[in-house]
């Protein structure tokens, strides 16, 4: 059974991630009163990109994309997707926290090889934005670990299944609200679309990607979206007992994220960091203090 999940969960992440990419374009189109592309448009794009010829800027340019994609797939293996995670050990949560950084790092290494100024600006923006949302995120993570007394995602999910989900229980509700406030930044959608801003810096780190590189980067983007949303569902919304319910919960969080994306314009980098270090950090800090003093 566990062996089966090793194959199934990356496949599920891939399918759901691509579905989310298509759905996001359709969703935005409907909000803007357009018809929008078909749901399988990302598949057509990826097929087109894989059959185009492209230039490589060096060995690191090739390997960075692969590193980023591989790390995303490994993070998925640690995620209980409505069942047990294939790689569920006691310290899984800490490993996920480290591996989540490898995704942007791989893109940064690869893009840096291209020596395109737009790519460099995009990478520095990504690092600044990550600095912005990692502070409240680590406070949320600390609050959850202290409250449930464990560093395993599986055990946090199991503990929530016995009682209420974290976002509906008293001290952790602050962490939940803080997580919802930083979720658009973690997904990289507007108002925090500073990294891949197409009009400003020519889609940032992806500016030099063409052909197969762009296809891999697109898949990686879908997986990043999948990981961000599934982490929220697992940590704060109690996970799910089967993959279908898990998928439905992810859809709700996705709809929230892209509603924010459609409703707000893009912030500048320093505005984004000022926001992230003010309200989400404050709320997450209050949650952490309450958890530390009141406890369970």
Exactly one of 1, 4, 32, 162 binds other proteins (CB under 8 A); that residue is: 32
Provide the mask over 175-214, with x wherever binding to other proteins is found by CB under 8 A and - wherever it is not.
-----------------------xx--xx--xxxxxx--x
Exactly one of 48, 268, 274, 278 binds other proteins (CB under 8 A); that residue is: 48
Rounded Cα gap, residues 263 and 257, in angstroms = 10
Q: Are 131 and 138 in contact (CB under 8 A)?
A: no
Name which of 266 and 277 has its Cβ closer to other proteins: 266
Of 41-49, 100-108, 141-149, 157-165: span binding other proteins (CB under 8 A): 41-49
Rounded Cα gap, residues 80 and 86, in angstroms = 8
Rounded Cα gap, residues 75 and 79, in angstroms = 7
CA R_g for the chain: 19
Residue 59 beta carbon to other proteins: minimum distance, rounded to whole angstroms? 19
3-state secondary structure of 85: coil
Exactly one of 12, 45, 143, 144 binds other proteins (CB under 8 A); that residue is: 45
Residue 197 beta carbon to other proteins: minimum distance, rounded to whole angstroms? 9
Cα-based angle 23, 138, 21 (whole degrees, multiple of 5)? 10
According to the binding rule CB under 8 A, does residue 37 interact with other proteins? yes
Rounded Cα gap, residues 135 and 270, in angstroms = 15
Q: Which residue has 């009009």 as its token pair?
A: 199
Structure tokens of 166? 């974290």
According to the binding rule CB under 8 A, does residue 41 interact with other proteins? yes
Binding region for other proteins (CB under 8 A): 25, 29, 32-38, 41, 44-45, 47-48, 51-55, 118, 198-199, 202-203, 206-211, 214
């Amino acid at each position: 059974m566990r062996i089966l999940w090793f194959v199934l969960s990356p496949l599920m992440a891939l399918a759901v991630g691509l579905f989310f990419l298509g759905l996001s374009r359709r969703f935005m189109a409907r909000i803007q009163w357009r018809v929008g592309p078909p749901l399988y448009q990302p598949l057509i794009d990826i097929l087109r990109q894989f059959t185009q010829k492209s230039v490589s800027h060096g060995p690191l340019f090739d390997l960075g994309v692969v590193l980023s994609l591989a790390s995303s797939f490994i993070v998925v293996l640690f995620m209980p997707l409505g069942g047990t995670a294939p790689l569920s050990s006691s310290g899984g949560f800490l490993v996920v926290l480290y591996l989540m950084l490898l995704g942007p790092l791989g893109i940064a290494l690869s893009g840096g090889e291209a020596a395109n100024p737009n790519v460099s600006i995009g990478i520095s923006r990504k690092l600044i934005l990550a600095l912005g949302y990692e502070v409240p995120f680590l406070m949320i993570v600390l609050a959850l670990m202290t409250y449930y007394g464990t560093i395993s995602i599986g055990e946090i999910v199991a503990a929530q299944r016995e009682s209420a989900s974290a976002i509906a229980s008293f001290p952790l509700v602050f962490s939940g609200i803080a997580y919802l406030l930083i979720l658009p930044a973690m997904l990289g959608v507007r108002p925090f679309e500073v990294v891949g801003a197409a009009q400003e810096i020519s889609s940032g780190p992806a500016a030099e990607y063409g052909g197969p590189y762009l296809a891999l980067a697109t898949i990686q983007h879908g997986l990043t979206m999948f990981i961000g949303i599934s982490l929220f569902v697992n940590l704060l919304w109690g996970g799910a007992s089967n993959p279908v319910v898990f998928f439905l919960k992810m859809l709700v969080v996705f709809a929230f994220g892209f509603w924010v994306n459609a409703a707000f314009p893009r912030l500048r980098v320093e505005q984004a960091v000022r926001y992230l270090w003010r309200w989400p950090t404050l709320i997450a800090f209050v949650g952490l203090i309450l958890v530390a003093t009141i406890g369970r």
